[in-house]
């Protein structure tokens, strides 16, 4: 089959899907969402988490409707399972809200902008990621006090950016799509004319701050000298050294398990990166609370040193559970990942991101409780940065939404049939208007769910600890 014939076939599939599931149908929010119990979904997740950390998760989610939304990927996955589906699937992020995009370093030490959270990645409908992003923009805009007109403009800008990007990627060669990335230098040039001087300075400040976030900075924040050796400092309940969690007779055995994990996971890295990692020796480890929706899953950080005590490397070893797209959204599991959810996360991240952490890999091991669990490994800090959503004015959120829309389209174009998706979307604004309607309705539902969680707190159904970050 020639390339031209393949493209025509894909375009035909997209047009057929458009006839079967018109883009306007995506405005629909299933009536069934009003009848389901959002707290029951969270409780099912909580059952397999560290019990003493679950109240922290609840406290973080109760900070605002947007924080609740961030932690409610499972709730939305269960809701999206009842929405129209074009049948055109991609490697989906599964949790593509606007706070899960950000800055980090490529292996070539260029600062790039990309999706940066893949705990829920799984093959699934591309529309689900678009709806997750668009609804997050609506909810964040409400939290910032924006009026309906501004919120609508933000929605339209983000979804049209996704649409136009997909149309652009549909016409590109395979290698050009694969090499496309959100290089921060190029993004700044693109936005330069749109940004006022003060806002350009804010962007420059965020970029400069991201470049300082590395293992050396983490060492200064997380460690201190103990008996002449650098050790991770306790900051309970957020950071708890493993020596404070286990009695001496169990500590050595568990640290040996983690060191074996760090050794065996290296087989999932490229050979040159194994050589680099072999130059670092294990020093200390701690349990660390991260994120909002992830709170309560097992997450460890390990301090390692290379040449000397001024040559640190922090690795994060984070538990990988079933994707909410599989568990609540009805997506079929990928048989390649049946043996390790960590591999699912890593494979999805490498497929969706233009550039991934050089130490990204996976492995399984027994936890403190003796249960074998799946993990993925990456650097704790490598030029990571994120937008300050609460300080955004409408124009900022429009620009940021456009950037997220382009980035999500690029991620989807790498794994899905971009020609079919572009043909489905077309070049009119029907789909964007539908998603804007969906987002407004889903934001209303999110507020009802948030109120339900507050009621569950007041009734004592769920335990809550205040956010102590």
What is the rounded average pLDDT for all residues in the chain? 90
From 410, 416, 425, 427, select the one nearest 14 (Cα to Cα).
425
* CA–CA gap between residue 9 and residue 3 (Å, rounded): 10
Centre a 10 Å sphere on the Cβ of residue 175 and count the other Cβ atoms it contains: 8
**E strands present in 329-460:** 361-366, 372-379
Question: What is the average per-residue pLDDT within 420-439?
Answer: 98
Question: What is the average per-residue pLDDT within 219-231?
Answer: 87
pLDDT at 67: 97
- With cut-offs at 50, 70 and 90, classify the pLDDT of residue 1: very low
The tokens describing 43, both together, are: 């409780």
The per-residue DSSP string of 76-131 comes to HHHHHTTS---S-EEEE-S---GGGEEEEE-TTS-EEEEE---TT-EEEEHHHHHH
Which residue in the block uniquely carries the two structure tokens 């990456």?
A: 378
pLDDT in tens, 105-119: 777 677 788 999 999
pLDDT at 192: 47
| Residue with more model confidence, 330 or 43 | 43
Q: What percent of the chain has pLDDT over 70?
A: 90
- Per-residue pLDDT at 394 exceeds 50: yes
- With cut-offs at 50, 70 and 90, classify the pLDDT of residue 227: confident
Point out the least confidently predicted range of 251-255, 331-335, 456-460: 331-335
- Per-residue pLDDT at 73 exceeds 80: yes
pLDDT in tens, 331-350: 887 777 777 999 999 999 99
pLDDT at 194: 47
- With cut-offs at 50, 70 and 90, classify the pLDDT of residue 370: confident
pLDDT at 182: 64
pLDDT at 66: 98
């Amino acid at each position: 089959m020639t390339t031209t014939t393949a493209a025509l076939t894909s375009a035909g599939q997209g047009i057929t899907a458009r006839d079967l599931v018109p883009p306007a149908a995506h405005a629909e929010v299933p009536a069934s969402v009003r009848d389901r119990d959002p707290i029951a979904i969270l409780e099912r997740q909580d059952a397999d988490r560290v019990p003493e950390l679950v109240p922290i998760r609840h406290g973080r989610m109760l900070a605002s409707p947007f924080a609740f939304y961030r932690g409610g990927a499972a709730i939305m996955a269960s809701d999206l399972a009842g929405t129209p589906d074009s049948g055109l699937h991609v490697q989906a992020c599964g949790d593509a809200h606007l706070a899960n995009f950000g800055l980090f370093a490529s292996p070539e030490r260029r600062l790039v902008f990309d999706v940066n959270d893949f705990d829920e990645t799984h093959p699934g409908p591309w529309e689900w990621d678009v709806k997750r992003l668009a609804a997050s923009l609506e909810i964040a805009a409400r939290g910032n006090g924006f009026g309906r007109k501004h919120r609508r403009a933000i929605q339209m800008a983000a979804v049209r950016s996704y649409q136009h990007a997909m149309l652009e990627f549909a016409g590109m060669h395979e290698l050009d799509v694969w090499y496309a990335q959100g290089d921060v230098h190029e993004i700044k040039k693109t936005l330069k004319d749109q940004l006022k001087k003060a806002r350009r300075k804010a962007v420059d400040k965020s970029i400069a701050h991201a470049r300082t976030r590395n293992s050396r900075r983490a060492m200064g924040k997380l460690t201190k000298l103990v008996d002449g050796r650098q050790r991770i400092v306790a900051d309970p309940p957020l950071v708890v050294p493993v020596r404070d969690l286990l009695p001496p007779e169990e500590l050595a055995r568990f640290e040996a398990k983690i060191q074996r994990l760090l050794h065996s996971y290296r087989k999932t890295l490229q050979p040159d990166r194994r050589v680099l990692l072999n130059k670092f020796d294990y020093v200390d480890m701690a349990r660390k609370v991260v994120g909002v929706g992830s709170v309560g899953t097992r997450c460890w950080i390990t301090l390692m040193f290379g040449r000397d005590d001024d040559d640190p490397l922090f690795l994060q070893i984070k538990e990988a559970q079933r994707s909410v797209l599989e568990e609540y959204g009805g997506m079929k599991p990928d048989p390649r990942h049946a043996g390790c959810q960590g591999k699912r996360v890593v494979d999805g991240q490498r497929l969706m991101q233009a550039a991934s952490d050089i130490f990204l890999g996976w492995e399984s091991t027994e936890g403190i409780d003796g249960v074998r669990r799946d993990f993925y490994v990456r650097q704790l800090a490598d030029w990571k940065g994120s937008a300050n959503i609460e300080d955004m004015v409408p124009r900022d959120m429009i620009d940021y939404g456009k950037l997220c829309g382009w980035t999500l389209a690029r991620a989807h174009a790498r794994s899905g049939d971009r020609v079919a998706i572009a043909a489905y979307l077309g070049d009119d604004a029907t789909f964007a208007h539908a998603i804007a309607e969906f987002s407004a309705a889903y934001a209303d539902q999110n507020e009802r769910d948030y109120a339900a969680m507050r009621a569950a707190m007041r009734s004592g159904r769920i335990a809550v600890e205040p956010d102590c970050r």
